[in-house]
Structure 1
């Protein structure tokens, strides 16, 4: 390989890396700002049943005007979609938890919570496990 070809190859690789970094940074930036994205859950009840409830039960109804809520029929005749976007100081995590609890109330009449694992104890490892489980309830991931 002659020197000119090596320079072209190195320049091409450098440009590809720069473009890749720019694309990755843009994706990361888009993921970070999701404040205008609607959160949604599908409730296994017909739209007519859910639309007749005013206000919605549980935490979603308690938020009132602090969250915008929409109802629509779920695709494939599979119930109702509850969509919400936070407003006025409500965090997305709090709204996500409210949506999940409201879904549970609408489907079963109670908020279903997982059993405490038998491996938890009041020691340091048990405290860490409880903290991790508590965090996972909000965002659905650790």
Structure 2
């Protein structure tokens, strides 16, 4: 009897999940511009992130290749900065694009990290090189 109850509860849960999934809007089908948004939350006001609509320095290198928007982050935690490629995604899928270096998403994430660092600290932070990469004798 307990087994029948568990099976019935599982079937009802699966049916409810399916019905809920059918109600959710399908954004990929409705958005005419392909490309995935890459987002970061910057600890700064929107006026400081995009002053007078001007893009921060790392993003200026991408002028004409990306779409940029900024809005207040949820919970008053700064500004949500987002970019996505105008031309859409690359033709190679995920890992294959990564192997040949043709992954625009990876480069966009890198530029967003640099922009966030520049806006929050005033400089792009760089990690120290390992002792094996430094010039001079190895200790």
TM-score by length of 2: 0.55
In the alignment, structure 2 segments of 5+ residues that lack a partner are 1-33, 91-102, 135-139
How many residues align structurally?
87
Query: What is the RMSD computed on CA atoms of the aligned residues?
Result: 2.2
Greater relative CO (CA pairs within 8 A, separation 6+): 2
SS of alignment partner, residue 99 of structure 1: helix
User: In terms of Rg, which structure is larger?
Assistant: 1
Q: What is the deviation of 1:53?
A: 4.9
SS of alignment partner, residue 62 of structure 2: helix
Moved over 3 A (4+): none
More helix by share: 1
Alignment of 1:60-75 (within 5 A): 60-75=59-74
Q: What is the deviation of 1:86?
A: 1.2
In the alignment, structure 1 segments of 5+ residues that lack a partner are 1-34, 123-142
Match of residue 121, structure 2, among 87, 90, 108: 108
Equivalent residue number for residue 45 of structure 2:
46
TM-score by length of 1: 0.54
Equivalent residue number for residue 77 of structure 2:
78
Q: What are the superposed Cα offsets for residues 29-86 of structure 1, whole Å, 9 maximum, x if unpaired?
A: xxxxxx6221101110012222325422222122112001110101111100111111
